[in-house]
Structure 1
Amino acid sequence: MSSRPNALIWLLASLVLLGLDQWSKVWAIHALQSVGSVAVIPGWLNWTLAYNPGAAFSFLDNGQSWPRWLFVILAIGISGFLIRWLWRTPRRDWRTALPLAMIIGGALGNAIDRLHGSVVVDFIHVHYHQWNYPIFNVADCGITVGAVLLLLFGLRSRPGT
């Protein structure tokens, strides 16, 4: 076992993202339940309440309960793998730690939704004219931005680290 500090402290960033995600979903349910959708930037961005029983873009939304448990198990398993990765990562390596923490927070945020209500609460709706991007949430942002940063930082050469 190494005596150097590991990056587990970055799990605090996961907790912050998880807290923002859960708070924003509670806000969305209360603020949008009766109105459905509110224009934030007309023609571009709406807050639109949606419930997603499937995965990304409602993948595997087949009305059965097994996808719910599959996604919860995947989120917990992947988060466990990423936490182990953080444990093996030096604390100063923020280019690895931050993206991992974002993915963990996002994965657990959506898993909590599935455990609590069997669906994920989505509310961020980006659109332009007839084009609509699938509605998403703060947890999805954490997963996506974390994965992109992990790829970008991983592709960059880091001499001396």
Structure 2
Amino acid sequence: MTPSNQVVRRLAVAVAIIVFALDIATKEAIFHAFALRESVPITSFFNLGHWLNPGAAFSFLSDAGGWQRYFFSALAVAVITWLGTGILFNDSLTKTLRIAFALIAGGAAGNLYDRIVRGAVIDWIDLHWAGWHWPAFNLADCAIVAGAITLVAAQVINPSQPNDATARH
């Protein structure tokens, strides 16, 4: 492993830890500052509030009876393990891909923490327009989406470069 790979690896791990820590900190602040389902308008299109999502993105399976907590927790552990392995041990990944993996892993870890501790994920960002509300989300969700967009953009910008978790020299 080259020294530059070590630096990028450390940077990616730091990004994942920072995303996780910021996500947990913001959720804790919301948990203590707002009652469940309380919402405060910040702008004409943004509310800050406290909602629990026992499901996945867009409240998918939120009313499935409880089994989804364990399913999504196990899925998060698998994703974090797979991405972490790529970040730590796949020296053919580019810096961009390591950071993308780190964003996704840090976000997945933040939501996993909520599922384990609270049984559901705290969402606190509510964007709306003309009475229509986007499903509430949180910082972990933002990191996961940013990581996914980065992965797609890296493939579109440089499709010939090996950039998946199985690529080897």
Alignment partner, residue 165 of structure 2: none
In structure 1, distance between residues paired with 2:69 and 2:58: 14
In structure 2, distance between residues paired with 1:158 and 1:27: 41
Tell whether the 8 Å contact from 1:13 to 1:98 is kept in structure 2 after alignment.
yes
- The secondary structure found in structure 1 opposite 2:106 is helix
1:11-160 aligned at under 5 Å gives the runs: 11-33=13-35, 36-41=38-43, 43-86=44-87, 87-89=89-91, 93-157=94-158
- CA deviation vs aligned residue, 1:7-52 (integer Å, no higher than 9, x gap): 43111110000000000001111112278111121x2111021000
TM-score by length of 2: 0.85
TM-score by length of 1: 0.89
List alignment gaps of at least 5 residues for structure 1.
none
Paired residue total: 157
Tell whether the 8 Å contact from 1:8 to 1:83 is kept in structure 2 after alignment.
no
- The secondary structure found in structure 1 opposite 2:42 is strand
RMSD across aligned positions (CA): 2.1
Tell whether the 8 Å contact from 2:100 to 2:150 is kept in structure 1 after alignment.
yes
Tell whether the 8 Å contact from 1:105 to 1:142 is kept in structure 2 after alignment.
yes
Distance 1:40 1:61, change over 3 A: same
- The secondary structure found in structure 1 opposite 2:126 is strand
Name the % identity. 30
Distance 1:154 1:49, change over 3 A: same
